[in-house]
Chains A and B, each alone.
Chain A
Amino acid sequence: MSKGLPETRTDTAMSELVPEPRPKPAVPMKPVSINSNLLGYIGIDTIIEQMRKKTMKTGFDFNIMVVGQSGLGKSTLVNTLFKSQVSRKASSWNREEKIPKTVEIKAIGHVIEEGGVKMKLTVIDTPGFGDQINNENCWEPIEKYINEQYEKFLKEEVNIARKKRIPDTRVHCCLYFISPTGHSLRPLDLEFMKHLSKVVNIIPVIAKADTMTLEEKSEFKQRVRKELEVNGIEFYPQKEFDEDLEDKTENDKIRQESMPFAVVGSDKEYQVNGKRVLGRKTPWGIIEVENLSHCEFALLRDFVIRTHLQDLKEVTHNIHYETYRAKRLNDNGGLPPGEGLLGTVLPPVPATPCPTAE
């Protein structure tokens, strides 16, 4: 009795099932650098202008979250930053009305325009944070909200028929308000920042800085910086994301000297030396908000808006969102990291021409 014949037949049949390796796409050769002797002007650098025009047309989204105990001046600061009534302050100070029983998340969107650039600004307020007697886990609703926005974006991105521009509601920047005690950080501050620095860009800010003298201010800042370092809290700009030496030196300077910014906010204008400035009027003088010798508001504004706005968005998109996405896809499918969703498990799909778009 020979069993030789049936065996060979199944062997060939089996091998037909194993998918053939996909043919590799034609990868271009290594770029040959020919830049030294261009015989004339081509016009490649006009792409910058083209890009700028395009982005100006589409507009920008920016979502900023403010976190801190009530009364630290969050709404005032946001209004000062964006020079308009972005947040409406609570008019009446009724305990039940003002302090909610739980941490709420309130997101209000505005459209502001400047110099032809349209920006959809969303300010996310967190009333109730740190105001209860028992503040355990009060950062959880905030973390949940942030993850919900990532989830929303992921769902849109994963759709078959995607929108041309996925609406971006992810939190790009979180301003954390530190109470100016003059001593050190509170346990609540440390806990919050420890949990959230991994999912969002946190910029710690010392509120109501006009309660401290210059020496107190610099000591406090040093202590806060030390404490953050000791607890391993990476606030924005994170050291690990510095791209090149130039970035590193610039960011180092900010990290080690200026941050956390000690700010004063105000939306009232006063006359000082013949100019109208934003400030706070006190019996002993007028605190100018935009004066660098009085407080560091101008530094914060320049940092967040004028130089690092795009970077905040990019770090959120390229790093925090990607981390969330990778974790989510990993947990869901048990797929090992690095393997694509379209791994070699699936059978080779014949290249059929797609129907033309209607």
Chain B
Amino acid sequence: MAVAVGRPSNEELRNLSLSGHVGFDSLPDQLVNKSTSQGFCFNILCVGETGIGKSTLMDTLFNTKFESDPATHNEPGVRLKARSYELQESNVRLKLTIVDTVGFGDQINKDDSYKPIVEYIDAQFEAYLQEELKIKRSLFNYHDTRIHACLYFIAPTGHSLKSLDLVTMKKLDSKVNIIPIIAKADTIAKNELHKFKSKIMSELVSNGVQIYQFPTDEETVAEINATMSVHLPFAVVGSTEEVKIGNKMAKARQYPWGVVQVENENHCDFVKLREMLIRVNMEDLREQTHTRHYELYRRCKLEEMGFKDTDPDSKPFSLQETYEAKRNEFLGELQKKEEEMRQMFVMRVKEKEAELKEAEKELHEKFDLLKRTHQEEKKKVEDKKKELEEEVNSFQKKKAAAQLLQSQAQQSGAQQTKKDKDKKKNSRRSELEILKIQVCKENREGTHYVLVLVI
């Protein structure tokens, strides 16, 4: 059966008027009810030097005593300590996570102080990204650990921001909503405070640090947010001890010269901070984290890994295809590298083998040479031996012959022997001569000499 699918007509979005009560104005309530039953997550990161009052402020903000021992000043590096709590107020359950920077500002060399903080924030984004990219994922009951607000505690020097503060805030401003606050504000007098605040704000602006802007786009909160923004950074005092003021107990710090009331707006900006952080903008902080900071991280991360939205022909890639391509590419590279290594290994082995073979050959040759020389020497010696033996034999013969003659000569008489001797002598002489001639001939071949025959 042929199929024709009509295109949805998006252009024609008419505004309709209702002739009666339909009832979908309960939709926000339906939405809120669902979220309420699931509970909310809120994660605060407190960055500041040891002893500046981070834990006390958290206790004061949330009206409880979160158990923690104060940190020492001997930490070798900055580390982050995260603690989770469940708070409930009326029917709202809040999963609150407070992350503390332990050891911040205590080292002699503070070059790397910001690094653990940035790594922690990135790790939370990464965990969320991993969950989001899973095939079988469960985002709706995922425990969100991303940092929604970062309270940066500025030391109340009264002059300006420390360079460590500037560097750290600059590194964090694109990753998290930064709310700068001046800690231990009861050490600064009112007039100094005003100057200090404006100095800090101008320094932040001139260094391009983007702190969290309270939203002013919605009418109900625009006014209050605008008025509060003027007081940034909030100068706060924290205290969990209660002092009797008038006829009720209030959180305060008691000094010999007076009592600093935490919730008195003339004394410090704690109330403003609480309003801004919790009662007015908590949801906006969460939303900004998700839609701005997390999206930026995600985009950076995916681009880093080589994913693009469009290829050079501006045809949209699907993440899946790109991933497959990347994966195959990587596997191919891996294989290539493996091959290369294997080949290199084989080559090396071959070389070594060739070398060794060469050496073997040489040895063989040497051995052969030695053997040959040995043989030759042996032969020479044998020859000499033979010669010697021959000479000995001939000498023996001659000796025997001589002895025989001698005995004959003795038996036959003197003349005979004499004649024989002479004959012998002559024959001997002639033999000698012949030998001589032979020797001469042999020695002087090619030369014509008149041989003198000596008789």
Contact = CB atoms under 8 A, between A and B. Distances in A.
B76 to A, nearest CB: 17
B220 A17 contact: no
A329 B135 contact: yes
Nearest to B16: A84
Contact of B9 (A100, A107, A330): A107
Given A83-B18, A311-B34, A345-B327, A35 B302 contact: no
A52 B30 CA distance: 10
A316 B139 CA distance: 14
B106 interface: no
A57 to B, nearest CB: 6
Contact of B356 (A1, A17, A56, A160): A1
A337 B278 CA distance: 40
Interface string A79-115: 0011111100000000000001111111111111111
A83 B13 contact: no
B27 A309 contact: yes
Overall SS of chain B's interface: helix
B388 interface: no
A25 B118 CA distance: 12
A322 interface: yes
Contacts of A186: none
B6 interface: yes
Contact of B27 (A13, A60, A325, A352): A60
A292 interface: no
Given A26-B120, A84-B17, A10 B341 contact: yes
Interface string A339-358: 11110011101011111110
A347 B130 CA distance: 15
A354 B302 CA distance: 11
B120 to A, nearest CB: 6
A77 to B, nearest CB: 13
A14 B188 CA distance: 61
A62 B30 CA distance: 14
B283 A47 contact: yes
Tier of interface size on chain B: 35 or more
Contacts of B175: 354
A43 B278 contact: yes
A347 B278 contact: no
Interface in B377-399: none
B8 A338 contact: no
A347 B330 contact: yes
Nearest to B287: A54
A306 B292 contact: no
A178 B374 CA distance: 116
Contacts of A46: 278-280, 282
B449 to A, nearest CB: 70
Nearest to B23: A306
Interface in B20-41: 20-37, 40
A3 B345 CA distance: 10
Given A47-B40, A48-B32, A338-B134, A29 B82 contact: yes
A113 B16 CA distance: 8
Interface string A297-331: 00001100111111100100010001001100110
Given A17-B334, A44-B89, A338 B136 contact: yes
Interface stretch (A66-74, A139-147, A218-226): A139-147
Interface stretch (A130-138, A198-206, A232-240, A279-287): A130-138
A114 B20 CA distance: 10
Given A51-B283, A109-B13, A335-B135, A38 B349 contact: no
A1 B352 contact: yes
Nearest to B61: A42
Contact of B84 (A31, A43, A345, A353): A31
Given A45-B92, A110-B14, A144-B5, A326 B299 contact: no
A52 B29 contact: yes
A341 B319 contact: yes
Nearest to A122: B8
A110 B15 CA distance: 6
A164 interface: yes
A245 interface: no
A108 B9 contact: yes
Interface string B78-94: 00101111111111101
A305 B23 contact: yes
A140 B85 contact: no
B307 to A, nearest CB: 6
B442 interface: no
A314 B87 contact: no
Given A105-B8, A340-B135, 4 more contacts: A52-B29, A104-B5, A104-B6, A333-B320
* Shortest 5 CB-CB contacts between residues of A and residues of B: A115-B25, A25-B123, A107-B8, A354-B300, A310-B30
25 contacts: A1-B353, A6-B345, A6-B352, A25-B120, A25-B123, A35-B88, A42-B61, A51-B35, A54-B284, A55-B27, A82-B16, A83-B22, A84-B16, A113-B15, A114-B23, A117-B25, A141-B5, A160-B302, A160-B307, A160-B308, A301-B22, A322-B137, A342-B129, A345-B327, A345-B330
Interface of B: 1-6, 8-10, 12-37, 40, 61-64, 66-67, 80, 82-92, 94-95, 97, 99, 118-120, 122-124, 126-127, 129-130, 133-137, 139-140, 145, 171, 173-175, 210, 218, 220-221, 274-275, 278-284, 287, 291-292, 295-305, 307-309, 316, 318-321, 323-324, 326-327, 330-331, 334, 337, 341, 345, 348-349, 352-353, 356
